[in-house]
Amino acid sequence: MRFLLAALLWMSAAGLQAGDRIWSALVLANNEKPAREVPANLEDFAPTIRKVFGYNSLYLLGDKKRDLVSGKEEWLVPSKEFFFKVQVLAKKPTYYELRIELYRGDKLLVTSEARLAKDAPLYIRGPQWGGGQLVFLLEVQ
């Protein structure tokens, strides 16, 4: 009986530790003729980027995944130049409340608090760069 109780406690703790992950990506979006084939890991995001931002070609410049742990800060470095610092402020049944900071090098560009749910990615329009527009993505997975 004690072994079963210990096993159940261990399994529930392991489940909590596994938790959700946050994925960040840095995308270069532009218009090309003919349009470039969308990278496989951006296929789900391409329709929204086309509709909202108006670009037909996407290049994945970098991406990163980290665990989401309440109260802990995570650094997401999708490229050498741009990166995020994300802190879980609260975990609700259907979403996370996050503090998000976007950096370029050591310069803080923007700080925001956002609610981020699974299957509801956050798109951030970045600066014009390299003949296109930078788009930053954050998604709970």
Per-residue pLDDT reduced to its tens digit, 11-65: 333 222 337 899 999 999 999 999 999 999 999 999 999 999 999 999 999 999 9
Q: In angstroms, rounded to a whole number, what is the distance separating the alpha carbons of residues 83 and 109?
A: 10
**Whole-prediction pTM value?**
0.78
Residue 67 has a CB neighbour count (10 Å cut-off) of: 13
CA angle 123, 66, 12 (to 5 degrees): 120
Q: Which helix (H) or strand (E) holds 93?
A: none
Closest CA to 79 of 122, 130, 124, 27: 27
Q: What is the per-residue pLDDT for 25?
A: 93
pLDDT classification of 79: cutoffs 50, 70, 90: confident
For the chain, the straight-line distance linking the first and the last C-alpha, in angstroms and rounded, comes to 36
